[in-house]
Amino acid sequence: MTTPRTTTRTGRERADGAAPSTGATAVVVGGGLAGITAALELADAGLRVTLLEGRPRLGGLAFSFRRGDLTIDNGQHVYLRCCTAYRWFLDRVDATAFAPLQPRLDVPVLDVGHPSGRPRLGRLRRTALPVPLHLAASLATYPHLSLAERAQVGRAALALRALDLDDPALDEEDFASWLSRHGQSPRAVEALWDLVGVATLNATADRSSLGLAAMVFKTGLLSEPGAADIGWAHVPLGELHDTRARAALDKAGVRTELRTRVTALTRSDDGRWHVDTEAGPGGTERLDADAVVLAVPQRETHALLPEGALDDPDRLLGIDTAPILNLHVVYDRKVLRQPFFAALGSPVQWVFDRTDSSGLAARGTGGQYLAVSQSAAHDDIDRPVAELRARYLPELERLLPAARGAGVRDFFVTRERTATFAPTPGVGRLRPAAPTATPGLFLAGAWTATGWPATMEGAVRSGVDAAAAALSELGRPHHHPLREPA
């Protein structure tokens, strides 16, 4: 039997072999986007940083895996031009070219609920005109709403634009009630507000805080003409959030330890932190640090928080979670000619072509790989694969006539049961800020008080906030890297 080792470290070795400089040290717990961001920001400011991640990879819930000859993303992740933090992250890890933005917002929307029985195509797209005129032409011709409904949408958008996002009362009301008061029909909610809101909030309007919904629509659609232009990875997510992120961390001098679980945090009388870890059969290790950033989910954070760190730590347990389901279909022929589309009149929500990014195109065997992204998937998340196949393949054939008669080479499912925090009314008062009541301890994660819903943008922002708070407490100069949308 191997005797467990117990060691204590205060720094880490530089990737280039040079001795680390003396100075303040930090430990970041969690290797998702929040943790990676915090570690980079702290290291860039001159701290000696150790990043600990329990999984065998970085990237949190935005990752890739192998299935046969293909590289599969666990789910379809997108960002918008207004996501200045995630765009900064892509630049920081030298990956911007691999996740380009649309030149201009253009979303094909297929409705299979039309009386003709044939899919009817509409588009949500913008022009270069100033806000709110940039969407006026698209809304005026949007075929999935009546003329009266389009006019009412315009009025509601102007009312939404006038809301004060700093008003705490917005957090207490659900978005659906506000939409109803502002003349939005059930069809308008389905064909426009939920079309966007479910994908960004991971909840329908009736389960969404007005505050978070208003933030999404004001920032994405009513701030700058190009704010809602969509970007997504044209390579596997693991290339961005694991491979390139790890290279950036190494270059910054961060010591990164994977397959390492943190078991306890304690603070000594001299104000320094002790971080106890387990790393498989290698035993235990204790790291000492001047600052610790907890960048893990809320329940894991609650379990690690020392007494007194938050006035009411149990409020973290009140932040509920929401699931996302992804269906992966490999056809034997091309069935979709657009890079993606959204659907109405069908349980299908958003469909993306992942043929190139998965490596299928490079195999030269033909076929097409589609990823079907299903947010707020409470009803489907636990359905057996056979039931999901029977439910969704016919729906794809309704939406895509070219899929009728096409062979299905593979059908599989990825499930994220706790994909995001649930943006329910009242969640805002539960989300903690980055600093805690205990000096040297900071929180990060999309579930913290970023003002954003649970997105890659929110995760990166939380990492920036936690690092900034730590550097401020340590008296280190720090330049905030983000440019806010107008």
Known binding residues for FAD are: 262
Where do we find the tokens 């809101």? 197
Tokens of 426: 């009242």
* Sign of the Cα pseudo-torsion (48, 54, 58, 59, in order): negative
β 64-67/255-257 pair status = unpaired
Distance CA 302, CA 321 (A): 15
Of 316, 312, 283, residue with least CA distance to 301: 316
Bridge partners, 17 (sequence order): none
Instruction: Give the chain as a 3 state SS string.
Output: CCCCEEEEECCCCCCCCCCCCCCCEEEEECCCHHHHHHHHHHHHCCCEEEEECCCCCCCCCCCEEEECCEEEECCCCEEECCCHHHHHHHHHCCCHHHCCECCCCEEEEEECCCCCCCCEEEEEECCCCCCCHHHHHHHHCCCCCCHHHHHHHHHHHHHHHCCCCCCHHHHHCEHHHHHHHCCCCHHHHHHHHHHHHHHHHCCCHHHCEHHHHHHHHHHHHCCCCCCCCEEECCCCHHHHHHHHHHHHHHHHCCEEECCCEEEEEEECCCCCEEEEEECHHHEEEEEEECEEEECCCHHHHHHHCCCCCCCCHHHHHHCCEEEEEEEEEEECCCCCCCCEEEEECCCCCEEEECHHHHCHHHHCCCCEEEEEEEECCCCCCCCCHHHHHHHHHHHHHHHCHHHCCCCEEEEEEEEEEEEEECCCCCHHHHCCCCECCCCCEEECCCCCCCCCCCCHHHHHHHHHHHHHHHHHHCCCCCCCCCCCCC
Tokens of 188: 């308008």
Show binding-site residues.
262
Distance CA 100, CA 78 (A): 10
Q: Report the Cα 301 to chain-centroid distance in Å.
A: 19
Bridge partners, 29 (sequence order): 52, 294
